[in-house]
Amino acid sequence: MKINQSEISDYNQKTGKDHKENFDFLSNKLTNKGKDVNSIVAKLSEFQVAIPSWALGAGGTRFGRFGFYGEPSNLEQKIEDVGILHSLTQTAGAVSLHIPWDIPSDYDAIKQKAEALDIKFDAVNSNTFQDQKDAAETYKYGSLSNVSKAVREQAIQHNLDVIKIGDKLGSKALTVWLADGSCFPGQNNFQTAFQNTQDSLIDIYKGLPDDWKMLVEYKPYEPNFYSTVIQDWGASLMLANGCGDKAYTLVDLGHHLPNSNIEQIVSILQLKGKLGGFHFNDSKYGDDDLTVGSIKPYALFLIFNELVYGMENNPQNPDLAWMIDASHNVKDPLEDLIQSLEAIQEAYAKALLIDQTALRTAQLENDVVKCQEILQGAYRTDVRPLLEKARINAGGVISPIDAYRSLGVRAQLIKERGKHTIATGL
Ligand SMILES: [Mn+2]
């Protein structure tokens, strides 16, 4: 299914009454404070977040999975789903594929489909956290870090294969997330595991095309519960530095121990030109994979404050690969992704409202109260009319969730695909 432009303009015409009034009010207020509203709206329209192919179906836990009707059951349908998100929000202009779940059978057809929906192929993700059918070696005790050379070679070759698949589609980055680690003290020699991982990553790095990046993701625990080989940003940065200029650290919001100061991590990585990618989600306890902004919206805003500062002041850091990395156990996955996209845009818009010059002055004067007033003044602004304007300007809808429901998207997907389809994923 595809949402066409006339459905979007009809919807906007029917529901747009309040928008103009709200936007004019906010726009005047911000203009009087010296803000360039058009430039903020333009930045919001430009900001694109990749949708991971595994987030389009219902997620599960180790206790089970409750399916959601009308899930995409192949890559074409996954791209159609991203197309639906993008046509409503105009913020989801990319898809991030997971190999081996998403190996195209017909590359040209997939590329054409994506192009017709204005979807780009973002970073490709390798999978060495589970065994594939007919694999010669098992990843039970690790992949790139494994004590067995044969296992490491299989995992390296898989990553090289993923690069080749991504290259055919126009991707420009490989994301490596390892489940490698140990469940019990003494199980692993930390130094051997780390060194093996470094050597394996260097072998993969050698197969990277010149214009590609390697993004090294970290996570403190799970599925291993005693140690993880790439447990934090320091380990990721060391490994990236050990590979070379095209290797970067990838920060996933959920991959931190409780109360980690993530805004400080992204800030320093940008200073060093080593922040390559960012995965959005939210959590209460651990890697909960909840909807972005649903638990700690202020922390997300503080992170965006640093990201905006870095984007403006750190030319040494490349453009970031933005992606949502969440899971939806009880919500319609597409509605959940729309809510996440909205939360990301909201945090970004609020961060763009921060008066960086005034903040700098207050910092230099050690006016701590003023610093907080500046941040919280931006945070307390209801920026939703700016998001609506950005969507309208780009050809999207004023209210994506409401439009998704009033257009009956899920019912139509169920009609086309049937009830009991299951998307590949976790
Ligand atoms: Mn992630």
Cβ 92 vs Cβ 45: under 8 Å? no
| Cα 291 to middle of ligand 1, angstroms | 13
Q: From residue 176, how far is each of 44, 196, 208, 253, 262 by CA, in Å?
A: 29, 15, 13, 16, 20
| Cα 334 to middle of ligand 1, angstroms | 18
Cβ 65 vs Cβ 98: under 8 Å? no
Which of 77, 118, 66, 85 is closest to 101 using CA atoms? 77
pLDDT at 223: 96
| Cα 209 to middle of ligand 1, angstroms | 23
| Cα 79 to middle of ligand 1, angstroms | 20
| Residue 215 neighbours by CB under 8 Å, 6+ apart | 123, 173, 174, 175, 176, 247, 248, 249, 250, 276, 277, 321
Which of 249, 217, 197, 203 is closest to 126 using CA atoms? 217
Is omega for the bond preceding 223 within 30 degrees of 0, making it cis?
yes
| Cα 414 to middle of ligand 1, angstroms | 29
| Cα 168 to middle of ligand 1, angstroms | 23
| Cα 300 to middle of ligand 1, angstroms | 16
Cβ 301 vs Cβ 236: under 8 Å? no
pLDDT in tens, the chain (426 residues): 899 999 999 999 999 989 999 999 999 999 999 999 999 999 999 999 999 999 999 888 888 888 889 999 999 999 999 999 999 999 999 999 999 999 999 999 999 999 999 999 999 999 999 999 999 999 999 999 999 999 999 999 999 999 999 999 999 999 999 999 999 999 999 999 999 999 999 999 999 999 999 999 999 999 999 999 999 999 999 999 999 999 999 999 999 999 999 999 999 999 999 999 999 999 999 999 999 999 999 999 999 999 999 999 999 999 999 999 999 889 999 999 999 999 999 999 999 999 999 999 999 999 999 999 999 999 999 999 999 999 999 999 999 999 999 999 999 999 999 988 877 766
| Cα 129 to middle of ligand 1, angstroms | 13
* CA angle, residues 422, 70, 339, in degrees to nearest 5: 100
| Cα 151 to middle of ligand 1, angstroms | 23
| Cα 393 to middle of ligand 1, angstroms | 31
Cα separation of 323 and 279, whole Å?
5
| Cα 311 to middle of ligand 1, angstroms | 21
| Cα 149 to middle of ligand 1, angstroms | 27
| Cα 323 to middle of ligand 1, angstroms | 8
3-state secondary structure of 173: strand
Q: How many CB atoms lie within 10 A of CB 5?
A: 9
* Residues with C-beta atoms within 5 A of ion ligand 1: 252, 279, 325
pLDDT at 64: 87
